[in-house]
Amino acid sequence: MLQVQSLYKYLTATFLCLLLFCIVSAQTGSLNVTFTPKNDGTPVTLKFSQSLLKFDNPHGYWFVNPHNGDRHFQFMPESFYGDREADVAFISFHETVNDFDFYEGGGNDSNSVTIQNKILTVSAPEYDSRAFGNKPMHIHINSFTASEISFTISGAASLRMINSTSPKGTPGTISGTGHFFREPKYILSDLLPGCNCDATIYAAVYDEENNVRTASPCEKALNNKLFDAVQKAMAPLFTNVQHTGEGKMATGDINIVMMPGHVDINVPVKDRPYCTSDYYQNGLTGFNAQKKYFSNDDRFGLRFMRTVSDETLGVTTDATANTKRQAAKVDSLYKLAAAKKITMEQYMKAAQEAMTSMSGNSPDIKKLEAENNLYLTIIFNPDNKTETDLKLADKNKTIVTRNIKGAAFEIFSPIAKDGDGNWVNSRQAIYFGRFSAPANANNGGAGFDVKTTNAGYPANGNKLSIYNIIIKMEGGKDLMDKAIANIDFNALQELITKQ
Tell me: do 315 and 460 sit in the same domain: no
Kindly tell me if the per-residue pLDDT of 132 is higher than 60.
no
Q: Give tens-digit pLDDT for 20-57.
A: 444 444 589 999 999 999 887 789 999 999 999 998 89
**Residue 397 domain flag:** yes
Tell me: do 478 and 459 sit in the same domain: yes
d(CA 479, CA 211): 38
Query: How confident is the model at residue 407, as a pLDDT?
Result: 96
Tell me which DSSP letter residue 357 carries: T
Of 237, 170, 284, 226, which Cα lies nearest the Cα of 487? 237
Tell me: do 321 and 399 sit in the same domain: no
Tell me: do 387 and 354 sit in the same domain: no
Q: What is the mean pLDDT of the chain?
A: 83
Query: How confident is the model at residue 91, as a pLDDT?
Result: 92
Query: How confident is the model at residue 300, as a pLDDT?
Result: 95
Number of domains in the chain: 3
Using pLDDT thresholds of 50, 70 and 90, give the confidence band for residue 14.
very low
Tell me: do 278 and 355 sit in the same domain: no
- Residue 439, amino acid: A
Tell me: do 382 and 367 sit in the same domain: no
Tell me which DSSP letter residue 238 carries: I
- 413-443 burial, b at 16+ Cβ within 10 Å, e below that, comes to bbbbeeeeeebbbbbbbbbbbebeebeeeee
- Report yes or no: 198 and 231 within 8 Å, Cβ to Cβ: no
**Residue 124 domain flag:** yes
DSSP for 438-449, please give it: PEEEE-TTT--E
Q: Give tens-digit pLDDT for 153-173.
A: 999 998 988 877 766 788 899
Query: How confident is the model at residue 227, as a pLDDT?
Result: 93
Of 308, 35, 27, which Cα lies nearest the Cα of 170? 35
Strands of the sheet containing 206-207, edge to edge, are 206-207, 212-214, 284-286
- Percentage of the chain modeled with pLDDT above 90: 47
Last residue within a domain, chosen from 161, 181, 201: 181
Kindly tell me if the per-residue pLDDT of 139 is higher than 90.
yes
Using pLDDT thresholds of 50, 70 and 90, give the confidence band for residue 319.
low
The whole-number average pLDDT for the span 110-137 is: 80
Q: Which residue has the higher pLDDT, 309 or 395?
A: 395
Run of H or E including 305: strand 296-306
Tell me: do 52 and 103 sit in the same domain: yes
d(CA 82, CA 116): 11
Using pLDDT thresholds of 50, 70 and 90, give the confidence band for residue 411.
very high
Q: According to the per-residue pLDDT averaged within each range, which of 63-72, 73-82, 100-109, 150-159 is highest?
A: 150-159
Rounded to 5°, the CA angle 347-352-356 comes to: 155
Tell me: do 222 and 353 sit in the same domain: no
Range of the domain at 106: 26-181
Q: Give tens-digit pLDDT for 252-296.
A: 789 999 998 899 998 887 788 888 887 777 889 999 999 999 998
**Residue 188 domain flag:** no
Kindly tell me if the per-residue pLDDT of 497 is higher than 60.
yes
**Residue 199 domain flag:** no
**Residue 104 domain flag:** yes
Tell me: do 111 and 253 sit in the same domain: no
Kindly tell me if the per-residue pLDDT of 16 is higher than 60.
no
The whole-number average pLDDT for the span 443-467 is: 88
- 390-403 burial, b at 16+ Cβ within 10 Å, e below that, comes to bbbbbeeebeeeee
Tell me: do 173 and 301 sit in the same domain: no
Tell me: do 428 and 282 sit in the same domain: yes
Using pLDDT thresholds of 50, 70 and 90, give the confidence band for residue 412.
very high
Q: Give tens-digit pLDDT for 320-337.
A: 666 666 777 777 777 778
Last residue within a domain, chosen from 352, 371, 390: 371
Query: How confident is the model at residue 108, as a pLDDT?
Result: 53
Tell me: do 132 and 164 sit in the same domain: yes
**Residue 99 domain flag:** yes
Last residue within a domain, chosen from 353, 371, 389: 371
**Residue 59 domain flag:** yes
Tell me which DSSP letter residue 490 carries: H
**Residue 2 domain flag:** no
